[in-house]
Structure 1
Amino acid sequence: MDSCRRVPIESQKVDAPLTQSATFLVVSITDSPNATKTVRSTLASIDAIAKNVAIRDLSASFACTIGIGSNVWDRVTRLPRPAELHPFPAVHGAKHSAVSTPGDLLFHIRSERRDLCFEFERQLLDLLGDSIKVVDETTGFRYFDIRDLLGFVDGTANPVGPAVPEAVLVALEDDAEAVGGSYIVIQKYLHDLKGWRSLSNETQEAIIGRTKWDNIELPDGSASSQKAHKTLATVEDEDGNEHDILRDNMPFGSPGAGEFGTYFIGYSRKLWVIEKMMERMFVGVPEGMHDRLLDYSTAVTGTTFFAPSASALAGLDGDDD
């Protein structure tokens, strides 16, 4: 056999289509006996678990993407550390902060059917047992024509087609040890819906940078004026090249509990792109002119993960430490 032959790298389904339902499950790994071994063996078998659920309705676009946090990367994977992987850095602006919160593993579970997400999560947690502790579990849903609970279409700037892997998958020239993987940042935002609804449509549109009903992009103001959310969330490098990320945001909430929010999840080939976006939003451009959307949306979580390739996950065989 040719020892120089390269084994094809299969990525996780980070580019799975937008679905009607999703579960965002963040867990920490415990110090229980054999916790690391249990986690490794479960992650290595994740494809089999997913197939067991997905086969019940092949038209339901079931998928699960797994992210591994910086603090447990070495313990769980025994693989080279992705070049940019580190804990989520809190960002403190003059008025608002992007908080940093704990989380060792992320399971981004999605499907057209809520029951498939539920069943997969049940089987997953049964296998993990006392090796993990749930940090946060949020159930998201599609709201009308892909709108957030603020009433605007969400995800307009997402790349499509061949541009998706270009935006989200680490390439050989980026990091030879992390090819086919993707950086993930999650933030859970809670909305002051009453305050937001007190604003006129024109004010809301100026904050977002798009018209509310037909989703038409509004022109930017002068260089010194307050930037809209869509402008602050756009990142360019020093050469003026725009860098895309893939968002699979979901509304969540409970009217009875008075909770309304958006779960932000961003996949990126380069972690610095999302971190720069956070700096622009929370610190402002120029500094002090923060994203006015933050006056009505508060970030209550913030965690960074890396989604290794499916090939790398399958290689986690659960051997003893």
Structure 2
Amino acid sequence: MNDAEPLITRIPADVARPDKLAYGLTLRQIVVLAVTGALASAVYYAFHQVLPVLVLAAVLLPLLALGAVIALGRRDGLTLDRFILASLVFLRSRKDLVAAPEGVPVPPRWCRLRGKLPAPLRLPVRAIRTDGALELADGGTAVLVETSTLSFHLRTAAEQAALVGAFGRWLNSLDAPAQILIRARPVDLTGLIEAVERRAPELPHPALEQAAAEHLAFLSRLNASRDLLGRQVLVVLRDPPAARGQRRPSRDASAAVVLRRAAEAERALATLGVTATVLDAAAAGQVLTECLDPGSWHPAPVALPDELITFKENQ
């Protein structure tokens, strides 16, 4: 076996790509084009003896072009028909949402309300347990596992094959839905700058202090001149809700199942040289907050029942 032989496997970026039936078109595209052609034919046969050809062409050509754009075009990863449907649903939905899972109560008759009532905000996560498990609104449970990254292209062909095989064995061992999320998050160097500034005068040699000062100036310029982003890899392991007719397990039992799967994922990914850590309640809440409102400032997370919320600093 030649170890220098590269391991190349072509995998499409869109693994959920629909099947193409004819002429490189999917069933949805064929239906949209057929409906557009039938509508244009009906308009032509209904008015070709009444209207001139130029007028019919001015009406039918934009219609055919619109049908072709809807069938073949894409926007933000969605087909245009789904994008237009999502846009209509968004325009008709209420924009003022409040945390009211039981519903927004109707005001009494004597209260003259101007405008529309807010709609209840329905989040997929109902609660975050102290052990980090997420209680989902559909009755299931999930857990967030943060993993490190590794350099794949710098490995030899044999090492790449071993990594792919180990990763494939972990994927084949999954018996429940799992999601791998790679997201970019803003990085603030203020804490690092303050730590370097605080520790620099304590260094044992003036040359080290001078180097720390130069590094501090570099970090300050970097933090002020650029929008720094860091990559975070999350693995979401889920215990789906019980099917209809089956007995629903307790919340503690479901949480124990996903935490056990998270521990198994930690051991399996450790063979790849990837460090995996189950996010606790505070870290999971911070991740969900950043995902719901990316790019904004978020205050400190809410303290847990057994944590102190005040402290006294010695002057």
**What is the TM-score with the length of structure 1 in the denominator?**
0.21
Bigger Rg, which one? 2
Higher strand share: 1
Which one has a larger percent helix, Structure 1 or Structure 2? 2
